[in-house]
């Protein structure tokens, strides 16, 4: 009984003392790494999607090839090639930059397919109507197509953000001192890998839970404001 109580107290003290040590790299590394990777990945994904939708010869084939490569190979392999492989050609990135580049390139491949599908889900008749009233291609995309596609693409894009938050743990393999790498170090010192990884998992879970709640809130804000049948009938009778 005494040994059990002593071990229990030891674990509780370890969890309390290590919480801040895990939270600091989470705020300083994990979250910035997630935000920057998602931002650059989304920009590149938009370019890849628009190139494919516009059916630009040469560029469309390149975009399809890009998506094929980055969706068909593991993210860790891509990170290793950028961090460990590129120095062979004189291209050197530090761990954080390598992780941002790898995550952005990988995320762009997946998100470009989400954006492309959302754009193609907008009825072609709306684009044709835009041409009929004298709008050019850029105006049609920015004023008609993309605003509607954004509502379709938002849930899966936000889900990819949540997935990216968890994938940032791979950055520890590129010497980035983020939350997972700190958890490994503490576990090695105190020989408590189960509890340290559980605590790190708890922090990841809390972050993803907050993002999930934010996603639900923003989805409600983006819902279509469709008039009710009663309102439509009332307006029809009034006009009649």
- Extents of the domains making up the chain: 2-226
| Per-residue pLDDT, 90 | 92
Which residue did the predictor score with more confidence, 225 or 18? 18
Number of other CB atoms surrounding residue 80 within 10 Å: 16
pLDDT of residue 67: 95
Those residues whose C-beta lies under 8 Å from the C-beta of residue 73, and which sit 6 or more positions away, are none
Question: Is residue 102 pLDDT above 90, yes or no?
Answer: yes
The lowest-confidence range among 6-15, 37-46, 89-98 is 6-15
Distances (CA, A) of 224 to 64, 114, 148, 215, 221: 32, 20, 10, 16, 9
pLDDT for res 239: 42
In tens, the pLDDT along 68-80 reads 999 999 999 999 9
Please tell me the distance from the alpha carbon of residue 134 to that of residue 136, in angstroms, as a whole number: 7
Instruction: Report the candidate in 115, 95, 146 with the shortest Cα–Cα distance to residue 42.
Output: 115
Average pLDDT over residues 44-50: 94
The DSSP annotation for 150-213 comes to HHHHHHHHHHHHHHHHHHGGGGGGGT---HHHHHHHHHHHHT-HHHHHHHHHHHHHHHHHHHHH
CA count, 13 A, side-chain hemisphere, 200: 25
Closest to 190 (Cα-Cα) out of 23, 11, 25: 11
Tokens, residue 207: 């972050």
Distance from C-alpha of 21 to C-alpha of 186, rounded to nearest angstrom? 9
Please tell me the predicted confidence (pLDDT) of residue 134.
83
User: How far is Cα 206 from Cα 26, in angstroms, rounded to an integer?
Assistant: 12
Report residue 48's pLDDT band, with 50, 70 and 90 as the boundaries. Answer: very high
Q: Is the pLDDT of residue 128 over 90?
A: no
Quick one: which of 57, 83, 223 has its CA closest to 154? 223
**Residue 130: predicted pLDDT:** 83
> What does the pLDDT read at residue 235?
42
**Calpha distance 12→155 (Å, rounded):** 38
User: How far, in Å, CA of 104 to CA of 47, rounded?
Assistant: 13
H or E element, residue 41:
helix 31-53
Chain segment 193-240, per-residue pLDDT in tens: 999 999 999 999 999 999 999 999 888 877 754 444 434 333 433 344
Please give the model's pTM, rounded to 2 decimal places: 0.84
What is the predicted pLDDT for the residue at 45?
96
Question: What average pLDDT is seen over the chain?
Answer: 87
| Mean pLDDT of all residues in 128-148 | 84
| CATH entry, 2-226, from 3.40.50.970, 1.20.120.550, 1.20.1250.20, 1.10.3720.10 | 1.10.3720.10
């Amino acid at each position: 009984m005494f040994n059990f109580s002593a071990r229990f107290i030891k674990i509780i003290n370890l969890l309390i003392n290590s919480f801040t040590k895990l939270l600091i790299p989470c705020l300083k590394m994990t979250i910035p790494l997630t935000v920057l990777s998602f931002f650059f990945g989304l920009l590149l994904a938009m370019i890849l999607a628009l190139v494919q939708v516009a059916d630009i010869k040469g560029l469309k084939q390149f975009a399809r090839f890009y998506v094929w490569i980055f969706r068909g190979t593991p993210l860790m392999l891509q990170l290793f090639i950028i961090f460990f492989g590129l120095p062979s050609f004189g291209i050197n990135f530090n761990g954080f930059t390598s992780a941002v580049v790898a995550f952005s390139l990988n995320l762009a491949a997946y998100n470009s397919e989400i954006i492309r599908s959302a754009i193609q889900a907008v009825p072609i008749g709306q684009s044709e109507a835009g041409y009929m009233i004298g709008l050019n291609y850029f105006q049609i995309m920015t004023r008609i197509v993309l605003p509607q596609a954004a509502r379709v693409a938002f849930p899966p894009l936000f889900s990819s953000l949540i997935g990216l938050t968890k994938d940032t743990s791979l950055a520890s393999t590129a010497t980035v001192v983020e939350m997972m790498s700190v958890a490994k170090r503490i576990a090695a010192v105190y020989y408590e890998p189960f509890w340290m990884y559980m605590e790190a998992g708890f922090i990841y879970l809390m972050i993803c839970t907050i993002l999930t709640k934010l996603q639900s809130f923003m989805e409600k804000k983006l819902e279509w404001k469709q008039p009710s049948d009663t309102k439509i009938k009332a307006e029809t009778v009034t006009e009649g």
